[in-house]
């Protein structure tokens, strides 16, 4: 499975947001959201999350604590309601600077959630030469 495309949605007054219908089936009934080191959130299927969490949990104790606290401690297990909505956690919303409008961006094995303003900044500052060089480096 590969998540592709981008979809704009708005949070309602209760901080609920619709998961794009194009992503719902592949995400399944349970999925996970966590923060990353940039200003966005990552969404993982249950199977991808289990693999990711296992890798994080298997880090040597001396290196693991801060990584586990940052990624696992802020993670949110999601079960969409009958309408396909979830409630975003305050910690995650603050990290991603989400207020009202969000953009779901397919990124292969995961989905990224951006505040609409952050996504627009990212789109406007794309370094196409760098992207081209990276693609060339890996034969894409």
CATH no. for residue 54? 3.40.1550.20
3-class SS string, the chain:
CCECCEEEEECCCCCEEECCHHHHHHHCCCEEEEECCCCCEEEEEHHHHHHHHHHHHCCCHHHHHHHHHHHHCCCEEECCCCCCEEECCHHHHHHCCCCCEEEEEEEECEEEEEEHHHHHHHHHCCCHHHHHHHHHHCCC
Other CB atoms within 10 A of residue 28 CB = 12
Structural domain that includes position 120: 6-137
**Looking at residue 1, what is its pLDDT?**
72
**Looking at residue 43, what is its pLDDT?**
97
Say how far apart CA 88 and CA 78 lie, in whole Å.
Answer: 9
**Looking at residue 124, what is its pLDDT?**
93
**Looking at residue 23, what is its pLDDT?**
95
**Looking at residue 118, what is its pLDDT?**
96
Q: Which residues of the chain, if any, have pLDDT below 70?
A: none
Say how far apart CA 82 and CA 133 lie, in whole Å.
Answer: 44
17 in any annotated domain = yes
**Looking at residue 64, what is its pLDDT?**
83
**Looking at residue 13, what is its pLDDT?**
92
**Looking at residue 65, what is its pLDDT?**
87
User: For the chain, how many structural domains are there in total?
Assistant: 1
1 in any annotated domain = no
34 in any annotated domain = yes
**Looking at residue 57, what is its pLDDT?**
87
């Amino acid at each position: 499975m590969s998540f592709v495309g981008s979809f704009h949605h708005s949070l309602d007054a209760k901080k609920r947001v619709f998961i794009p219908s194009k992503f719902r089936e592949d995400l399944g009934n349970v999925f996970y959201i966590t923060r990353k080191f940039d200003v966005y959130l990552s969404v993982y299927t249950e199977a991808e999350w289990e693999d990711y969490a296992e890798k994080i949990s298997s880090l040597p104790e001396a290196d693991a604590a801060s990584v586990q606290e940052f990624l696992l401690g802020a993670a949110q297990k999601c079960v969409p309601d009958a309408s396909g909505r979830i409630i975003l956690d305050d910690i995650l919303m603050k990290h991603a600077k989400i207020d009202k409008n969000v953009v779901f961006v397919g990124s292969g094995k995961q989905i990224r959630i951006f505040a609409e303003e952050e996504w627009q900044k990212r789109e406007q500052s794309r370094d196409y030469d760098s992207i081209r060089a990276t693609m060339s480096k890996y034969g894409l």
